[in-house]
Structure 1
Amino acid sequence: MGKLQQGDRAPEFTLETIDGSVNLVAELEKADKGVVVYFYPKAMTPGCTTEACDFRDSENSLKSAGYTVIGISPDPVDSLRQFTDRDNLNFPLASDPDRGVLEAYGAYGEKKNYGKTVQGVIRSTFVIAKDGTISSAQYNVKATGHVARLRKALGIDA
């Protein structure tokens, strides 16, 4: 599938987490403003740890601003449990081992890695509005500083 854009309907999903399953529609119903869904390549790697810890440290302010956070990777649930426990993550990490959700969001495909073209997870973040449409689609984001830029774009930080 191609890349999603602002205004597109967000693909629905139900994925397993360490605490059972997470469902986009149910999360949207609970959120005041929307859901931030971010896709990352691999648990416990340096860039993914930086990004996850930034989301962890911003979780309370994002929640106060009306947003729920969900991280998605192709990692098995056992790896997500280790990642969550090791870094005290306070939001759900979902497992997409067959990459169906990653592909539906355009977050899996060709990318550059150290100058080589490879197939893999494209680090991406989506803000999904209460009505299920995408209000922001960001592809190829840099892990460092990404959450701060997202917070600014959402009007949480001036």
Structure 2
Amino acid sequence: MSELRRSARVASNKRGSPADEPASHQTKKSKTTSVAPDGEKKVDKIAEAKMEDAEPETKEENAEPKMKPRSSPSESKSKELIEGDEIPDLTLQNQDGGEISLKKLAEENRIIIIFAYPKASTPGCTRQACGFRDNYEDLKEHAAVFGLSTDNPKSQKNFQTKQKLPFGLLCDPKRLLIGSLGAKKTPQAGTIRSHWIFVDGKLKSKNIKVSPEFSVEEGKKQILELAKELE
């Protein structure tokens, strides 16, 4: 009986058992059987999806919606001219309602003097305008003379007629020229009494916040000096 048990164990060992297989073979087998047949494909698909999500957005996707820029109140303000700047490319009405191009004036007159006053037919503005009137014969030989205010053509015409002013008066109700020349009293309203001289279409002299008398005297003096320099 002992012989029979021994021979049975020997036969069983010869056929081989899982315990007798090499460790390397067992490891390899466990690896292949632990992974599902389509496991690699699933992993690849997940990885690809993650890579696609990680890709940066294009410039078009990141771009802000295209909108027309709005100009702020500060941006819409006229740039204040300094000496040497070109005369503004503006067209204003005169006392008769006619259109006066500043650029054209500069082409036709080598020297231009423009004096600004707060309001037609008020005392200080009348003294200023009449001062230029009384010196007009000397001034017109060398320069074109113009008054400037925010008044409408009718008010300017009445002022011109009543005071017998021999020069044109420009209307600037929106203070486009007044603002660009730096003579706004406040951002909302008002004009600072001033005068400016342009030579060959460029700002030569800037006189802001002056008295009526000084405006006339200094304006005439500057014109006569410039005339000598340009001879």
Give the structure-1-normalised TM-score. Answer: 0.84
AA matched with 1:120 = G
Query: What secondary structure sits across from 1:120 in the alignment?
Result: coil
Query: What secondary structure sits across from 2:119 in the alignment?
Result: coil
Match of 1:121 in 2: 191
Mapped contact 1:4–1:137 kept (Cα < 8 A): no
Could you tell which deviates more after superposition, 95-104 or 70-79? 95-104
AA matched with 2:212 = A
Whether 2:17 is the aligned partner of 1:17: answer no
Match of 1:149 in 2: 218
Gaps of 5+ in 1: 112-117
The Cα of 1:74 is off from its aligned counterpart by: 0.5
- Say which of 88, 91, 110 aligns to 2:167: 91
User: Equivalences for 1:2-151 in 2 at 5 Å?
Assistant: 3-19=80-96, 20-31=98-109, 33-64=110-141, 66-110=142-186, 119-130=189-200, 132-151=201-220
Rounded Cα–Cα distance in structure 1 between residues aligned with 2:215 and 2:198: 17
Could you say what the CA RMSD is over the residues aligned between the two structures, in angstroms? 1.9
AA matched with 1:109 = K
Query: What secondary structure sits across from 2:190 in the alignment?
Result: strand
AA matched with 2:85 = D
Rounded Cα–Cα distance in structure 2 between residues aligned with 1:145 and 1:139: 11
Identity of counterpart residues, as a percentage?
33
Rounded Cα–Cα distance in structure 2 between residues aligned with 1:83 and 1:93: 9
Write out the 4+ residue segments of structure 1 that deviate beyond 2 Å after TM superposition: 1-5, 153-156
Gaps of 5+ in 2: 1-77, 226-231
The Cα of 1:18 is off from its aligned counterpart by: 2.5
The Cα of 1:100 is off from its aligned counterpart by: 1.6
CA separation of 1:151 and 1:99: change in aligned 2, threshold 3 A: same
Query: What secondary structure sits across from 1:110 in the alignment?
Result: coil
AA matched with 1:22 = I
More strand by share: 1
More helix by share: 2
Query: What secondary structure sits across from 2:207 in the alignment?
Result: strand
CA separation of 1:77 and 1:59: change in aligned 2, threshold 3 A: same
The Cα of 1:139 is off from its aligned counterpart by: 0.3
The Cα of 1:122 is off from its aligned counterpart by: 1.0
Larger Rg, first or second structure (1 or 2)? 2
Deviations 1:94-116 (A, max 9, x none): 111111221121111339xxxxx
Rounded Cα–Cα distance in structure 2 between residues aligned with 1:100 and 1:84: 22
Mapped contact 1:40–1:73 kept (Cα < 8 A): yes
Could you tell which deviates more after superposition, 2-11 or 140-149? 2-11
Rounded Cα–Cα distance in structure 2 between residues aligned with 1:2 and 1:12: 12
